[in-house]
Amino acid sequence: MLVLAGFALAFMLPLAFLFISSSNAELSETSVNQAKISARTIADEAGELYLQGPDAKKTIFVNYPNGIVNGSIEGGLVVLTVNANGQEVDAVSTTFANISGNLAGKRLAGIQRIRLEYIWNGNYVNISYKD
């Protein structure tokens, strides 16, 4: 009976390890995809606001995934950095709008309120967190 239990355990352990490692890979891929969607939403909304012109402002809600490390606005790029499987992966989205702002700092996963405001004297859209 003990030998039979040993064989069963020897067979089940590798299967359990394989299942757990594939689950972690899927969760990491989901986090990266969610970060891409969030970056795309921010970039698209900034472009829409830029076309509306002076006095345009809006607050949007985006869902940050687990493992979010940082966010930044660089030129026409919205970049969200996610920790996936121990590696930092950038989710990058572009916009034609002239954008500036600050999304820096580690944030918790979940819904984030982001403020977008057209700055008429600088001719750009300012992007920041609205707490």
Exposed/middle/buried for 68, CB within 10 Å: 0-12, 13-18, 19+?
A: buried
For 110-128, letters b (16+ CB in 10 Å) and e give: eebebebbbeeeeebbbbe
Name which of 20-24, 43-47, 50-54, 106-110 the model is least confident about. Answer: 20-24
3-state secondary structure of 5: helix
pTM of the predicted model as reported, rounded to 2 decimal places: 0.80
Mean pLDDT, rounded, for 42-65: 93
pLDDT of 50: 93
Report the distance separating Cα 78 and Cα 45, nearest Å.
11
Q: Is the pLDDT of residue 44 over 70?
A: yes
Q: Would you place residue 66 in the very low, low, confident or very high pLDDT band (cuts 50, 70, 90)?
A: confident
pLDDT value at position 59?
A: 96
Is residue 65 within 8 A of residue 31, CB to CB? The reply is yes
Mean pLDDT of 46-71: 92
More confident site: 18 or 107? 107
Residue 84: predicted pLDDT: 84
